[in-house]
Chains A and B, each alone.
Chain A
């Protein structure tokens, strides 16, 4: 842990920052992406590219939620504004991931750019459906398929 001096910027783990913030001993400097203008830009990007997810941090949902509830006064924009743009972003991304699910098959799924929480939300559904598809697919695999399956098993 670095030594903490007044009015000096230091990097500490988020949990420490939250505790210190709770005791009124520090201000949190919000990450650059957590601002209305940046998120708005991302939203416009999402709208422009219907096939792509915009580039947001791996855990943007969790971080923004924590910072908005615990350190709202340190953020550049009002929390209502942030909340609404985050909600918009989430919805447009959900719509996209749903469209991506139409491409489900028994072997793989590609959802580049989706963040941790969004993946977790989909996971149970995708796992069950893909599991069933794999079982159905495997029930008719010919001898050729089986041979190649065995090979790929070894690679794993």
Chain B
């Protein structure tokens, strides 16, 4: 966490789908037609940091209209959430979103999604226990599909846990 946290920066750069609420002249290059205007109602993937601001700021001082409207991104689509509820350990988080937890955090901070957070917390606990048991493995090379499905935070968790167990073993045997 913090200004220089690379994970935070990368998570901010993840693109999420949005819909434009008004026509903007000259922004056409965003969808591959430079020089033209971007039409009202165009759907486009914008990075989180940009979408966040545009979806919150109103176009004029005394209106509720915002520049864009956020659409439901893939990472919280019902299909994904069902998979997470069914078996947290079998979900390939890394391919869904490399910074899954960060993104969920940002998303629920914007929309106050209590349900999403609850589901993600249950998943985090389940997966953390699994990571813990893989990290106890003393051999150097572990190859299971599960370890390839970790998101960036979980990878970090795995590394740290593995390291602490290694140090403990080292102390024990020295």
Contacts and interface: CB of A to CB of B under 8 A. Distances in A.
Main secondary structure of the interface of B (DSSP, over half): helix
In which size bucket is the chain A interface?
A: 20 to 34
B109 A129 contact: no
B160 A140 contact: no
A128 B165 CA distance: 15
B116 to A, nearest CB: 8
A102 B165 CA distance: 18
Main secondary structure of the interface of A (DSSP, over half): helix
A102 B113 CA distance: 24
Interface in A42-65: 65
B164 A106 contact: no
Contacts, number: 69
B87 interface: no
Nearest to A90: B172
B29 interface: no
B157 interface: yes
A12 B9 CA distance: 55
* Residue of B109, B125, B128, B132 ringed by the most chain A CB atoms within 10 A: B128
B93 to A, nearest CB: 13
Contacts of B113: 140
Interface stretch (A24-32, A70-78, A131-139): A131-139
Given A121-B165, A128-B156, A128-B157, A136 B132 contact: no
Contacts of B106: 139
A140 B132 contact: no
B157 A133 contact: no
A65 B172 CA distance: 8
A84 to B, nearest CB: 13
Contact of A101 (B132, B135, B153, B160): B132
* Residue of A98, A120, A123, A128 ringed by the most chain B CB atoms within 10 A: A128
Given A140-B114, A142-B112, 11 more contacts: A65-B172, A101-B129, A102-B129, A121-B168, A125-B132, A125-B164, A128-B157, A133-B121, A137-B117, A139-B109, A140-B109
20 contacts: A121-B164, A124-B164, A125-B135, A128-B156, A128-B157, A129-B128, A132-B124, A135-B1, A135-B105, A136-B101, A136-B104, A136-B105, A136-B120, A137-B117, A139-B104, A139-B105, A139-B106, A139-B109, A140-B113, A140-B114
Interface of A: 65, 98, 101-102, 104, 106, 117, 120-125, 128-129, 132-133, 135-137, 139-140, 142
